[in-house]
Chains A and B, each alone.
Chain A
Amino acid sequence: MSTVTGRRDRRGVGTGAARPDGIPKVTGEFAYSSDLWEAGMLWGATLRSPHPSARIISIDTTAAVAMPGVRAVLTADDVPGRPTYGLEVPDQPVFASDVVRYVGEPIAAVAADHYDIARRAAAAIVVTYDVLDPLLDPEASLTAEPLHPDGNVFRHMVIRHGDPDAVGDPAAGDIVVEGTYEVGMQDQAPLGTESGLAKPTADGGVELRIGTQWLHVDRDQIAASLDLDPDLVQVELAGVGGAFGAREDVSLQIHLCLLAKRTGRPVKMIYGREESFLGHVHRHPARMWFRHTAKADGTLVKVEAKLLFDGGAYCSSSPAVLANATCFAGGPYKIPNAVVEGSAVRTNNPPCGAMRGFGSVQVCFGHEGQMDKLAAALGMDPVELRLKNALAPGDRLITGQRLDGAAPVAALIEAVAASPLPGEVDGPMGLPGGPGRTTQAGDVRRGVALAVGFKNLMFSEGYDDSAAAKIRLFDGVATVSTACAEVGQGFVTLVHQIVHEVLGDDIEVVLNTASTTDVGSAGSTSASRQTWMSGGAVKLAADDIKAQVDLDPDRAEYLADVVHQHTPTTPLDENGQGEPHVSFTFACHRAVVDVDPELGVLRLVDLVTSQEVGKILNPVQLLGQLEGGAAQGAGLALMEEIVLEGGHIKNPSFTDYLIPTSFDLPELRVAAIIEEPEPHLGAPFGAKGVGEAPTISSGAAVIAAIRAATGLELPRVPVRPSDIALSPDRTP
């Protein structure tokens, strides 16, 4: 039981300031993108490919156009500008016209008077396909005929660090352990599905209100495909029902704007849950091989890894995800020698891209599995092994980059390891199966294990994006403009706290709706970057105002307009060496799992965490990130997987894609929150993003605990009950 409220007698940083959007959210008045309504608005619907790979022979929209209430039917022929879009590479068609490359690829969009008419009209479009054999195996993709003019390999990269040819010395007792690990495809599953409302503007442009993570990049992609000047495309943030990476790519944005322009009327679109599974990118499934070499005392000598990430049909952010996976493949340890090779490839599976943890989540299952294997081979305590190799400030990463900020890895591990263990569960409902009554106390074995992980903050490899902010102080009111997308994380609260901290508690703070019209890009709400980037921009603007006030206290109005740029990074060289990252974030988790091995059912009994956070801006929101992030990581280990069969998602619903319920999770306990103010300029008050680290090591800790309980290797996540119950290695 943890009660964290933070002091509220002040309004600045470090307090538990209340969310400015809290009251409308608890009363139901907060307007999400699905709640938008305009008189005379139409409903949009999308026709999608039923095949993972096919040539389109013909598209006949006659029947759909003829249906009463249908106002527009659009296909690729109706895209006036660039026919494709994409975050890193515009390789994805707005509408498929010649071939389809995954199940769910959009082919046409409809606007009609009622949503049921719209979806029936979409279904009435007759598409003739020449169905092809899909390419579904990422391994085969490397050598297969290209599925796309851009080829099948989104990125291939190698990190060679130290002596790539180093080998262990068996005579001296050096130990080598190998392991292969596999991670299934996870979905972000934000509660709010994709939705928005577009309407034409009098100047020939279009206005879109949307739930997104990155307003300006949405705008630019819309403008390119609509062949409009970007200034004629106004994108405004509507209420966002969670994101977690799912809203970084374009989904319905361009379709909606095309429909609004064509019909001259407001058009609203809401994906149902099934369409949401088809309509956004997922976490990359990964196959990973590792070989760890260590001295007899546990000191790591070398880490080798080969990583294969299935990027699905289109590029999205695959190259950046892969870079993270390779850079962090060794885990937060001192690794003198490393060879890590990574590939992200194109297949006819659903496209994959950003999700919380972004590449680090997958490899954490690998490097932490390896550390436990190594500990077992050495006869060493896994905690001791980790402590022996833990990264510390001043150490070099496998990219050669030196850690110039906080890296209290050992302290994080020690805090979690020292946390007391829970007792037996209290009553049958606390056992695996719960109300299903499958399991009694005697059926259960308990496992305890720990994992630690890390990743970069913000964008990397020279992609040094900025964040803009403006403040106008007039008559005691500070009006703040930033295009940072509030997706639930609480950035809006931090804006108030930062401005109060700089300009005083008596100032009234008004935060304008995020929009492309009155301020420059904030960059993406992803990569744990907005606290630092947009938070930093708001602080710089507030500092600017304060300096103006100090200089001339009698003016009526003060204006500040800033662009915040973080410390520059460099691309990786041909050996994967460089200074690719700005800063890092570390977390550790220990899981206690009760397993009923005969049935393979599980109960996460206890989860303890520690994290390095820079500087706490809001303790309540911090805890919310720690808890929510850990839940998503644990969910991946315990149950979350998009089940694919022949390129088809077999479980595109909340009935079958299971995310943890309140009953599946224990209360997260916090063993330590370590504050070491971030030394980089621009990190506001030394704070950094905290949202992703909790998702990295929580799942790895859970699966390690399951391994500890069962003695099984369990190389694949999520663990399915059958992986345990039907394992030939299971001891009775």
Chain B
Amino acid sequence: MNYKLSVNGTDHTVESTWEGESLLYVLRERLGLPGAKGACEQGECGSCSVLLDGDLVCSCLVLAAAAEGRDVRTVEAVAGPEGLSDVQQAFLDAGAVQCGFCTPGLIVAVHDLLERHPQPDDLTMREELAGNLCRCTGYGRIMEAVRMAADRRAASA
């Protein structure tokens, strides 16, 4: 079965040998976009977060063949031609990256969070990012990165 996927503004034709493949698998193994990570296969860890028609979702829970016609945005599209996004830069500056396996999902999720809550308080950040598990950092530097990105946006607004 062949189907079309629109990823980061580019249309791809996917030649799939098995229709049970998740969007996560297709992105990683068929389209050469391994930024989204698989760590739980059941929507519990957020490592595979992408935007689907602008909504933050777990790509492991999206049946790729059923995502035809929808707009998929991955972490690979976050950095622009001018360089890293403000959230990416904040993750580096705050020391929010250790093993980094959760990082791509968090980068996508934090961009989504700051769109909805430009100045999130601590509990809001922690509740909104609860679906992105991190095992290395204890979340301290990640929260610091969110604050840093939010403050820099506010300062430059």
Asked if chains A and B are in direct contact (CB within 8 A), the reply is yes
Contacts of B135 in A (CB 8 A): 188-191, 242, 244, 628, 632, 659
Contact flag A193-B88 (CB < 8 Å), given A25-B103, A627-B137: no
User: For A623, what are the chain B residues with a Cβ–Cβ distance below 8 Å?
Assistant: 95, 140-141
Chain A residues near B134 (CB, 8 Å)? 191, 662
Give the Cβ gap from B108 to chain A, nearest Cβ, in Å.
9
The B contact surface, by secondary structure, is loop
CA distance A499 to B140 in the complex (A): 29
Interface size on B, residues (CB 8 A): 62
B138 A628 Cβ-Cβ under 8 A: yes
Provide the residues of chain B in CB contact with A4, threshold 8 Å: 95
Chain A residue numbers with a CB within 8 Å of B94 are 5, 620
Complex Cα spacing A34 to B28, Å = 10
Instruction: Say yes or no: is A630 at the interface (Cβ < 8 Å to chain B).
Output: yes
B132, chain A: closest CB distance, angstroms: 7
Residue A665, interface by CB 8 Å: yes
B101 touches A192 (CB 8 A): yes
Residues A191 and B98 in contact in the complex (CB < 8 Å), given A26-B92, A628-B138: no
* A26 and B103 contact, Cβ closer than 8 Å, known pairs A273-B41, A429-B123, A662-B130: yes
Q: Does B157 contact A (CB under 8 A)?
A: no
Nearest A residue to B29 by beta-carbon distance?
A37
B130 touching A630, Cβ below 8 Å: no
Task: Tell me, yes or no, whether A655 is within 8 Å of chain B by CB.
Answer: yes
Binds B, one of A13-21, A259-267, A374-382: A13-21
Least CB separation from B87: chain A residue = A26
- Given A28-B104, A662-B126, A662-B129, answer yes or no on A23-B137 (Cβ-Cβ < 8 Å): no
Give the residue of A16, A663, A668 whose beta carbon is less than 8 angstroms from that of B138: A668
User: Could you say which residues of chain A place their CB within 8 Å of the CB of B44?
Assistant: 653-655
Indicate whether A490 sits within 8 Å of B37 (C-beta atoms), given known contacts A3-B144, A659-B135, A662-B143.
no
Verify A27–B35 contact, CB threshold 8 A: yes
Chain A binding site: helix, strand, loop or mixed by DSSP? loop
Contact with A along B95-118 (1 / 0, CB 8 A): 101111111100100000000000
- From 165 to 218 in chain A, residues with beta carbon under 8 angstroms from any chain B beta carbon are 188-193
Q: Are B99 and A273 in contact (CB under 8 A)?
A: no
Chain B residue numbers with a CB within 8 Å of A21 are 97, 100
Question: Are B34 and A28 in contact, with the CB atoms below 8 A?
Answer: yes
Q: Are A488 and B99 in contact (CB under 8 A)?
A: yes
Look across to chain A and name the residue whose beta carbon is closest to the beta carbon of B103: A25
Given A27-B75, A28-B74, A35 contacting B107 (CB threshold 8 A) = no
Among B102, B131, B134, B147, the most chain A Cβ lie within 10 Å of the Cβ of B134
Complex Cα spacing A70 to B147, Å: 51
Given contacts A19-B92, A27-B79, A116-B18, contact A662 B37 (CB under 8 A): no
Q: How far is the CA of A190 from the CA of B79 in the complex (A)?
A: 27
Count of residues in A whose CB is under 8 Å from the partner chain: 72
Give the residue name and chain of the B residue nearest to A694 (CB).
B138
Q: Which residues of A contact B20 (CB under 8 A)?
A: 116
Chain B residues near A241: list those with CB within 8 A: 37, 39, 99-101
Taking CB atoms and an 8 Å cut-off, the chain B residues in 60-106 that contact chain A are: 74-76, 78-79, 84, 88, 91-95, 97-104
Contact A621 B95 (CB under 8 A): yes
Contact of A628 among B36, B100, B137 (CB under 8 A): B137
- Residue pair B97, A26 in contact (C-beta under 8 Å): yes
Q: Does B156 count as interface, using CB distance less than 8 angstroms?
A: no
Given A192-B37, A273-B41, A628-B138, check contact A22 B127 (CB 8 Å).
Answer: no
Beyond A26-B104, A29-B76: 15 further Cβ-contacts under 8 Å? A1-B144, A19-B92, A25-B97, A34-B34, A241-B101, A427-B123, A488-B99, A488-B100, A624-B98, A627-B140, A628-B98, A629-B138, A630-B138, A662-B132, A667-B122
23 A-B pairs (CB sep. < 8 Å): A5-B95, A18-B92, A18-B93, A21-B100, A22-B97, A27-B35, A28-B78, A114-B17, A116-B18, A191-B47, A193-B39, A241-B99, A241-B100, A243-B99, A273-B41, A429-B127, A430-B123, A487-B99, A488-B100, A624-B136, A630-B138, A662-B125, A667-B140
| Chain A contacts to B: CB under 8 angstroms | 1-5, 16, 18-19, 21-23, 25-32, 34-35, 37, 113-114, 116, 188-193, 239-244, 270, 272-273, 426-427, 429-430, 434-435, 487-490, 620-621, 623-624, 627-632, 653-655, 659-665, 667-668
Chain B residues with CB under 8 Å of chain A are 17-18, 20, 28-29, 32-42, 44-45, 47, 74-76, 78-79, 84, 88, 91-95, 97-104, 107, 122-123, 125-127, 129-144, 147
